[in-house]
Amino acid sequence: MKKKKVSSVGVTWSGAIVFFILIAVIMQMAILVYDHIRERTDNITWIAVLILIEIVILSAFCTVFDWIRRKLMIESPTQKILNATEKIAEGDFSTRLKITHEYRKYNQYDLIMENLNKMAVELQKNEVLKTDFISNVSHEIKTPLAVIQNYATLLQDDTLDSETRNNYAKTLIAASKRITDLITNILKLNKLENQEIQEKHEAFNLTEALSESVVEFETLIEKKNLELNCDFDDVSVFSSKSLLEIVWNNLISNAIKFTPDNGKIEIFLKRIAKDVEITVVDTGCGMTSEVGAKIFEKFYQADTSHSTQGNGLGLALVKKVIDVLGGEISVQSEINKGSTFTILLKDVVYED
Ligand SMILES: Nc1ncnc2c1ncn2[C@@H]1O[C@H](COP(=O)(O)OP(=O)(O)O)[C@@H](O)[C@H]1O
Ligand SMILES: [Mg+2]
């Protein structure tokens, strides 16, 4: 951030000159008073007393003048800042300081006040993020927990036939898996945000890694009778295999989830000089550009009909991974036509 140059409050040239002038005036007045009295009397004690009185009066006047100046220029803003910091320290992040000078006339106090205001804004933002996060997580946990409680109660019925019992058990497993997935995602996101994941970079064949991920989705793809087309360049990269897996898995599972039966999914892997571009195209429900702008936010889910099959953290995680790896991700989509997610990994191509 560029630092603004400001005038200091305590030590200024104008302050020093005013102080100098005051002393000079007192001295000059003393000389004038001395001359004036000398013409009328020779009594040296009397002269000394009068000059002393003159100096005391003028000094008192100057002291009052300086006291008012300090009160206005130093004490008043210091007190304002002190009050604000006390409020912020007590957790009132809505506190803002009013800066009276216009920007180009800022002094050091104005700059401190501006910085305090910025700090309060940041703290307030974090507070909102924190409470939003807690309420989102609680909501996401509450739903599967309610399912678990209901079905566990139902399972206590001894008269249940084995097929129903099996179905209830499957529902229980699915609900607990939702909680596990949620917590795994939160932990991964948290680690990435705190830069704790020291992504182990290694040289590996990206084409093979991506193909292996795709194969894992085969049953899901067959279940929905989706057509799958893949076109992969053969390319090795130096990057984090485990982090990139998070990316493919989320993009491919979203493509499958949001594409109706008999739809089509295409995955492309293209080498462009030292970069790699991966594209996942589907013929699913698509989204508006307003939705497209929000899908990388935590817990955001536009399509509520699928909300039981995820927690809105997948793309937030993907975005974070791409940021950590220094790449780019973008989405193009049209309602009811489909979506295209494109990832660009920069300067990752590895050649022996
Ligand atoms: N391929 C896609 N087609 C249509 N909408 C999508 C697609 N991928 C993601 N979305 C939208 O973005 C939202 C966020 O995605 P994500 O973070 O993976 O959450 P989740 O899959 O848990 O819902 C989804 O709920 C959905 O509304
Ligand atoms: Mg998802």
- Residue 216 and residue 336 share a domain: yes
For residues 211 and 340, membership in a common domain is answered with yes
Q: What average pLDDT score do residues 5-16 get?
A: 69
Please report the sign of the dihedral spanned by the C-alpha atoms of residue 178, residue 184, residue 187, residue 188.
Answer: negative
Q: What is the pLDDT of residues 294-341, one digit of tens each?
A: 999 998 998 777 766 788 999 999 999 999 998 999 999 999 999 999
The alpha carbon of 257 and the centre of ligand 1 are apart by a number of angstroms equal to 8
Domain that holds residue 68: 13-122
- Proximal ligand: closest to the CA of 308: 1
Is the pLDDT assigned to residue 1 strictly greater than 60?
Answer: no
| Ligand nearest to the backbone CA of 140 | 1
162 CB neighbour count, 10 Å cutoff:
7
The answer to whether position 259 is within a domain reads: yes
DSSP conformation class of 274: T
What is the model's pLDDT at position 2? 58
In a domain, 40, yes or no: yes
Residues 220 and 325 grouped into a single domain: yes
- pLDDT band, very low/low/confident/very high, at 239 (cuts 50, 70, 90): very high
Higher pLDDT, 207 or 72: 207
What is the mean predicted confidence (pLDDT) over 63-67? 88
pLDDT band at 51 (very low <50, low <70, confident <90, very high): confident
Report percent pLDDT > 90 for the chain.
63
pLDDT of residue 3: 65
| Angstrom distance (rounded) from CA 189 to CA 125 | 19
CA 1 to centroid of ligand 1, rounded, Å:
36
Ligand 2 centroid – CA 198 distance (Å): 24
287 lines ligand 1 (CB under 6 A): yes
Q: What is the CATH number of the domain that holds 216?
A: 3.30.565.10
pLDDT, average across residues 112-141: 92
Domain boundary among 122, 149, 173: 122
In a domain, 116, yes or no: yes
- 8-state DSSP, 301: -
Q: How far is the CA of 164 from the centre of ligand 2 (A)?
A: 30
Per-residue pLDDT band at 9 (split at 50, 70, 90): low
Q: Which residues of 173-207 are buried (b: 16+ CB within 10 A; e: fewer)?
A: eebeebbebbeebbebbeebeeeebebeeeebebb
- Tell whether ligand 1 has an atom less than 6 A from the beta carbon of residue 339: yes
Q: What is the pLDDT of residue 11?
A: 62
Mean of pLDDT values over 116-139: 92
For residue 21, which amino acid is it?
Answer: I
| Model pLDDT, residue 223 | 96
Q: What is the mean pLDDT of residues 45-69?
A: 87
- The per-residue pLDDT for 310 is 82
Taking the C-alpha atoms of residue 79 and residue 100, their distance in angstroms, rounded to an integer, is: 15
pLDDT by residue (tens digit) across 27-45?
Answer: 888 888 888 888 888 888 8
CA 251 to centroid of ligand 2, rounded, Å = 7
Are 207 and 332 part of one and the same domain?
yes
Q: Give the nearest ligand 1 atom to 312 CA.
A: 19
The pLDDT assigned to 219 comes to: 94
- Domain termination residue (choose one: 122, 143, 169): 122
- Write the single-letter amino acid at 93: F
- Determine the Cα–Cα distance for residues 292 and 304; give it in Å rounded to an integer: 15
Indicate whether residue 302 lines ligand 1 (CB < 6 A). Answer: yes
In order of 182, 225, 309, the CA distances from 188 in angstroms are 10, 32, 19
Confidence band of 160 (pLDDT split at 50, 70, 90): very high
- What b-and-e string marks burial along 145-159, b requiring 16 or more CB atoms within 10 Å of the CB? eebbeebeeeeeeee
Among 254, 288, 291, 306, which residue has the most ligand 1 atoms within 8 Å of its CB, making it the best to mutate? 254
Which residues face 266 on adjacent strands?
229, 281
Q: List the beta strands (DSSP E) in the chain.
A: 202-205, 227-232, 236-239, 264-272, 275-282, 328-334, 338-345
Number of domains in the chain: 2
pLDDT at 337: 96
C-alpha 139 to ligand 1 mean position (Å): 18
Residue type, 198: Q
- Shared domain check, 317 and 211: yes
Residue 25: predicted pLDDT: 86
Cα 223 to averaged position of ligand 1 atoms, centre (Å): 20
Pocket-testing residue among 139, 298, 303, ligand 1, by greatest number of atoms within 8 A of Cβ: 303
Q: Could you tell me if 203 and 240 are in contact, meaning their C-beta atoms sit under 8 angstroms apart?
A: no
Residue located nearest, by CA, to atom 7 of ligand 1: 254
Residue 148 has pLDDT above 70, yes or no: yes
Q: Whose CA is nearest to atom 25 of ligand 1?
A: 301
CA 268 to chain centre: 32
Residue ending a domain, choose from 73, 94, 122: 122
Q: Is residue 19 pLDDT above 90, yes or no? A: no
* pLDDT at res. 283: 97
Beta strand 227-232 with 264-272 is: parallel
Residue 143 lies in a domain: no
> What separation in angstroms does the CA of 108 have from each of 5, 87, 104, 116, 261?
9, 21, 12, 12, 65
- Say how many C-beta atoms besides its own lie within 10 A of residue 209's C-beta: 18
Distance, CA of 236 to CA of 233 (rounded, Å): 10
1, part of any domain:
no
Q: 100 lies in a domain?
A: yes
Is the domain of 224 the same as that of 330? yes
Position 203 pLDDT exceeds 90: yes
Residue of 226, 290, 315 best suited for mutating to test ligand 1, as the one with most atoms within 8 Å of CB:
315
Could you identify the atom of ligand 1 that is nearest to the CA of residue 296? Answer: 17
- Is residue 191 within 8 Å of residue 183, measured between CB atoms? no
Whether 320 maps to a domain, the answer reads: yes
Q: Is 263 in the pocket of ligand 1 (CB under 6 A)?
A: no
CA of 325 to the centre of ligand 2 (A): 20
* 104 and 228 inside one domain: no
Domain membership of residue 184 (yes or no) is no
